[in-house]
Amino acid sequence: MAPEKERCADMGKELEILREHLARHGMNLTRQRVAVVNAFLKTDGHVTAEEIYQQLRDEGSRVGLATVYRTLSLLTDCNLAIPRSFGDGTVRYEKAYGYESHDHMICDSCGSIVEFHSDCVDQLKCELLTQHNFVVDRHRLVLYGICGNCRE
Ligand SMILES: [Zn+2]
Ligand SMILES: [Zn+2]
């Protein structure tokens, strides 16, 4: 993951990418969309549309839930957000711009999400792809179990 300082400097870049994407599709970067993007960029980890909506409400913003959903889907379209489903029927979004690809471990007991990046997984993936003559454009690996805290 990129260091904190770099992330802050990049914030404007994300809005710029979204603005260009919207312009190509004849849409505008409205104040409401900017508010959703800024709220999303402030989050860490994996957040639901409802959580962003709630955060905006707490800050006194009157952005509707539908706008939050639409903006997150726009961010996904231009690769600034990645939607993740971890099997509980909820879609969670995480920031994608400037972040290294990673996989997840989910605790079945407390629901905590651990991110990891493994060169081993990358290498195994390479081997399997060669072995099966497969070209991949994305992958998803989620390990389920019980975290250290819950086992204590
Ligand atoms: Zn746990
Ligand atoms: Zn993640």
> Which ligand is the nearest neighbour of the Cα of 1?
2
CA of 104 to the centre of ligand 1 (A): 13
Model pLDDT, residue 80: 92
| DSSP strands (E only) in the chain | 81-85, 91-95, 103-107, 113-116, 142-145
> Which ligand is the nearest neighbour of the Cα of 148?
1
Distance CA 152, CA 150 (A): 6
pLDDT tens digits along 32-57: 999 999 999 998 889 999 999 999 99
- Near ion ligand 2, which residues have CB within 5 Å? 94, 115
**For residues 2-16, average pLDDT:** 61
> Which ligand is the nearest neighbour of the Cα of 101?
2
Of 5-14, 17-26, 30-39, 72-81, the poorest mean pLDDT is in 5-14
Model pLDDT, residue 7: 45
